[in-house]
Structure 1
Amino acid sequence: MEMKLELVPVPVTDVDRAKEFYVRVGFNADHDQTVHPGLRFVQLTPPGSACSICLGLGLTEMEPGSLRGLQMVIADADAAREELLARGIEVSAVDDQPWGRFVYFSDPDGNTWSLQELVIPKLD
């Protein structure tokens, strides 16, 4: 059986503020539909990703800011950090670990993200 993760809800307090933030990070705004009062669906996709996030009203029971540790893979942690800084995003210094190089950021509600540059171990 094949399964593909395609959509992850991200709980936020202000949909417009969160949408603006994720677009500034570099996500593509795919959809923004108010189905009826109390139900709004906003879908955003990171460049190159097959999985999207959704924000909105009436989509999840999670508390805004409660999503921790969403992770995306990037080619270059230093370049990603510099690009996010240039876009006005608060981002951590590069965190070098044996299994990867990471940078971290949070959205306006406190949902946390890590960007991982994969590190291929050198064979001796």
Structure 2
Amino acid sequence: MEPDLTTAPNLLPVLEALQRREPIFHRPELGTTRRDFEAMTEPDFWEVGASGQRYSREYVLDVLEERYQQPFDDDWETSDFHCQEIAAENYLLTYTLKQGQRVSRRTTLWRHTAQGWKIVYHQGTLVAER
């Protein structure tokens, strides 16, 4: 039932670079300010949350700005990374994120630009208990 999620050997450097950036917005070493998050995302970035709700870039930036104004616990674990190039300099990264008992499958569309890595789209889908 599961797909073969083996990253092509020529994409392993991209996979490694993107793994260091995921989960998005949970890496304080990459920034914690609105300006940092703006720099990480393309102007037309948007996401679909685990609820299925669509969120605009502005909404996500507002939430992140509020979240990082106070200390909070951010315990997570990632696994099952897979990367594929879907167009020139555009990469689909998928992985599993575990946050306590909450497990979700994550998908991020990344674009490599002259300014560095930019997030184009993100989605999280909760894994149903079996």
Q: TM-score normalized by structure 2?
A: 0.27
The structure whose Rg is larger is 1
Bigger fraction of residues in strand: 2
